[in-house]
């Protein structure tokens, strides 16, 4: 089971750059290892991360097989209005991990 943790300020001033930190628990599999029966373990990595702010995309990352397990990301967003930030990580099989956080802008 994958879980996501988000850290950002609860409030910010309009126009302020806020730092957002994310950490998602996910066991990555590169697709290059073999199991006990010598079968290739299928690749299973998070390959995309998208953050939207009140429905507008503000950050995107494309990930490759070299990404670590439990990837951590930190980035800055300009606080423009109160609302919701939505975070979505997408796995190779199309499954997603979703998390949301609210921010109040004064």
Report the pLDDT value the prediction gives residue 43, as an integer from 0 to 100: 85
Query: Is pTM, for the whole model, over 0.85?
Result: yes
Report the pLDDT value the prediction gives residue 1, as an integer from 0 to 100: 61
Report the pLDDT value the prediction gives residue 13, as an integer from 0 to 100: 98
Question: Three-class SS string for 38-66?
Answer: CCECCCECEEEEEEEECCEEEEEEECCCC
Write out the chain's pLDDT in tens, 106 residues. 678 999 999 999 999 999 999 999 988 887 888 999 999 988 888 999 999 999 999 999 998 877 888 999 999 999 999 999 999 999 988 999 999 999 999 9
Report the pLDDT value the prediction gives residue 66, as an integer from 0 to 100: 78
Which residue segments constitute the domains of the chain, with CATH numbers given? 3-105 (2.60.40.10)
Count Cβ neighbours within 10 Å for each residue of 33-48 and write b for 16 or more, e otherwise: eeeeeeeeeeebbbbe
């Amino acid at each position: 089971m994958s879980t996501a943790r988000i850290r950002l300020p609860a409030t910010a001033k309009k126009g302020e750059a806020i730092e957002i930190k994310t950490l998602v628990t996910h066991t990555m599999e590169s697709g290059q290892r073999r199991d006990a029966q010598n079968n290739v373990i299928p690749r299973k990595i998070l390959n995309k991360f998208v953050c939207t702010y009140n429905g507008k995309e503000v950050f995107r990352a494309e990930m490759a097989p070299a990404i670590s397990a439990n990837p951590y990301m930190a980035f800055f967003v300009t606080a423009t209005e109160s609302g919701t930030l939505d975070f979505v990580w997408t796995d190779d099989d199309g499954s997603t991990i979703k998390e949301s956080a609210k921010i109040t802008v004064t």
